[in-house]
Chain A
Amino acid sequence: MTSRLLDGISHRGVALLAVLLAVLLAAPWIANDYLLTVLIIVLYSAYTGQAWNVMMGFAGQLSLGHAIYVGLGAYAAAALYVHFGIAPWLGLAAAIAVAVACGAIIGFLAFRFGVGGVYFAILTIAFAEFARIGFDHFQWVGASSGFFLPVANYTRNDLWNLRGDPTMFYYVMLALTVAAFALCHVLLKSRIGYYWQAIREDEVAARSLGIDTFRYKMYAAVLSAGMTAVAGVFFAFYYNNLFPEQVFHISRSIELILGPIIGGIGTLFGPLIGAFLLTGLSEAMQELLSALGFDAPGAKQVFYGLCLLVVVMALPGGVWPWLAGKLRVTRRDP
C-alpha cells in the first residue's frame, strides 16, 4: 500500500511531502489563532479543490456548480443534528448520500442526453442556482433567514459531535485533506484514473478503446459530489450558520475551482498549491490594504482579480507544473 501510495513520486518529492506534512501537523503549536484560522481555510479549499479536480481535472467534466454539493452536505448534516440530535459523523453518511444522489441525477441527465462542454457547465450552474432559490424558501431549515447550529461554550473538545476549538477543526480538516490527496493519488494510478484521463483527453477515442465512458463519467460525478459533501458537513459545524445565499451562491462554486485551476488542473498538488496561493494572497492583500489604511470593500477582490488575470495569462497550465519543473520532483519512469 505504502509503495503504491508513493508510486511515481521522486525521492526528492517524497522528502518535500514529508516536510510539508510535518509542518502542517506541527502548525497548531507554532501558529497563532489567526494563522490557524487561515490554515483551516487553506486546507478546506485544498480539499474541496481536490474533490472538484476529480471531476474536471481527471475526468474532464467542467462543473461550475459544485456549491450545490457543499450546500446539500452542510444542510443535510446540520438538519439532522438540529432537528434530531444526530451526530455529524452519522449525518455525514446522509450528507454523502444526498450529494451522491444529486450528482448522479445531474450526471445521468447530462451524460445520457449528451450535454457536454460549456452546456454541461451551465447545466451545473442551473442546478446550483435552483437549489439556492429552493433553500431560500425551505422553511424546515430556516429558508432565507438562515439555519443555525447551537453554539455553547465547550469546556473540552467533543470530536463525536464536532464541537470544539479551532485546533480540533484544523486536525479534522488536515485529516480530510490528506485522505483526499491519498485517495486521488491511488485512483490516478489505477485503471479508473487512466480511464478518466482518457475521457478527458478524447472521449471518442476512449470509447473506441472499450471504455464505457458513461459509467466512468458517472463514477467521477458521484465521487466528486460525495467528497464535496464531506466538506459541506465540516463547513456547517465549523461556521455554525448556513445561508442559502452564501453556501449555494455561484461565487462559492467559482471560489472552489479557482484553487485547482491556478494550482494546476488535473494534478495532485494543484489544489493544494492553489489553495495556499489564493488564500495566502487574499489574506496578504487584506493585511496590506489595512496597513495602507485603504479598506474600501472590494479593494481586496480587485487585486485578487488582477493576480488571477496575471496567473491565467502567464501560466496556462497552472503553477504546479511550472513549480514541479523547478523543484525536480516528478519522476519520468514509474
Chain B
Amino acid sequence: MMDLLSVEGVSKRFRGLLAVDNVSFRVARGSIFAVIGPNGAGKTTLFNIIAGMFAPDRGSVDFAGERIDALAPDEICRRGIGRTFQLVRPFPALSVEDNVVIGAMLRRHDPAAARRHAREVLARLDLFGKRHQPASALTLPDRKRLEVARALATEPKLLLLDEVMAGLRPAETDRMVSALTELNREFGLTILLIEHVMRAVMALAARVLVLHHGARIAEGAPAAVVREPAVIQSYLGAEAVD
C-alpha cells in the first residue's frame, strides 16, 4: 500500500454542530497534501482527530497500515505523526533551542545527542541564530517556524501543519515553502497541511481536499480543484480563478 495515511468516513459532532461530516481521503507516502476550506469548515477538527486530540464519532484513521483513531496524542506522535498548532503553543519560558531539544528527545534519549539534532533542525528553519532567546520573545512568524522545528525534531513520517503560513510575509512564505519542499525531497517526509495561503498551497501540494461545512466538496490536483464551481462559490471567490 502506498498510502501513509488513510481517513475513512470520519464524522465528529460537537453538541449540535456536525464539525466533520463523513470525510474520507488518502495521503500517499512521500506526498504533500493540502486541506483547504473557509473558516469553520472543520479543517482543524479533522486535524485534531488525526492527531489524537479527539476520537471520531464514526469512521477510522489508519496510519502506516495500523488503525490509530483510538490512540492518545502522545502515542500518535510516537508512531510518527508530528503536528503544529494553529494557535502556536511554544514552551514560553524555555529557550528556542530547548523547545526543539524536547521534541528531539523522543528519538534520542541522550540530551547531548538531542541537542545536536535540535541544532540541525533549527539551522534548517533559520532559527539557529535565535536559539538562545526565550520562546516567548519570538515574533509570530518565528514562533510558527519554532512549531514546525519542534514537530520536525520528533522525526515524524507525517507532518501535520496547521496554517503555518498565516501571518507570514510573501518572502517568508516562500522561504517556508522551500524549506518544506527540501524536507519532502531529501527525506521523503509526507506533509499534510491546512492552509489559507493559496500561494503556498499551489506551490507545495500535489493534491488538495476542499472542505465546506465539515463535508468534502472537492478533491484533486490544485490547479483542477480551484476551477471547480463549488469550490469557487464556497471559498475562493471569483478573483482566485484568475
A215's nearest neighbour on chain B, judged by CB, is: B74
Within 8 A of B (CB), among A207-250: 207-213
| Chain A interface main SS type | helix
Looking across the interface, which residue of chain A has its beta carbon closest to that of B135? A201
Q: Which residues of A contact B101 (CB under 8 A)?
A: 194
Contacts of A210 in B (CB 8 A): 74, 77-78, 106, 154
B105:A195 contact, CB within 8 angstroms: yes
Task: Give the distance in Å from the alpha carbon of A208 to the alpha carbon of B103 in the complex.
Answer: 9
A208 and B105 in contact, given A190-B111, A191-B111, A198-B91 (Cβ under 8 angstroms): no
With A195-B105, A210-B106 as contacts: A201 and B51 at CB distance below 8 Å: no
Please indicate the chain A residues that have their CB under 8 angstroms from the CB of B32 in the complex.
Answer: none
Q: How far is the CB of A207 from chain B (nearest CB, A)?
A: 4
Neighbouring B residues of A206 by C-beta, 8 Å = 91, 102
Q: Are B93 and A201 in contact (CB under 8 A)?
A: yes
Chain B residues contacting A137 (CB-CB under 8 Å) are none
Which of these, B73, B77, B102, B154, contacts A198 with CB under 8 Å?
Answer: B102
Stretch touching chain A among B82-90, B120-128, B188-196, B218-226:
B82-90
Identity of the chain A residue whose Cβ is nearest the Cβ of B77 in the assembled complex: A210
Contact with A along B136-168 (1 / 0, CB 8 A): 000000000000001100100000000000000
A207 pairs with B105, CB closer than 8 A = no
CB distance from B55 to the nearest CB of A (A): 15
B72 at the interface (CB under 8 A from A): yes
Q: Does A204 contact B (CB under 8 A)?
A: yes
Nearest CB in chain B to that of A194: its residue: B102
| 21 A-B contacts (beta carbon < 8 Å) | A194-B102, A194-B111, A197-B102, A198-B102, A201-B91, A201-B92, A202-B90, A204-B73, A204-B85, A204-B89, A205-B89, A205-B90, A205-B91, A206-B102, A207-B73, A208-B51, A208-B77, A208-B151, A209-B74, A210-B74, A211-B106
Given contacts A210-B74, A211-B106, 7 further A-B contacts (CB under 8 A): A198-B91, A204-B53, A204-B89, A208-B82, A209-B77, A211-B74, A333-B132
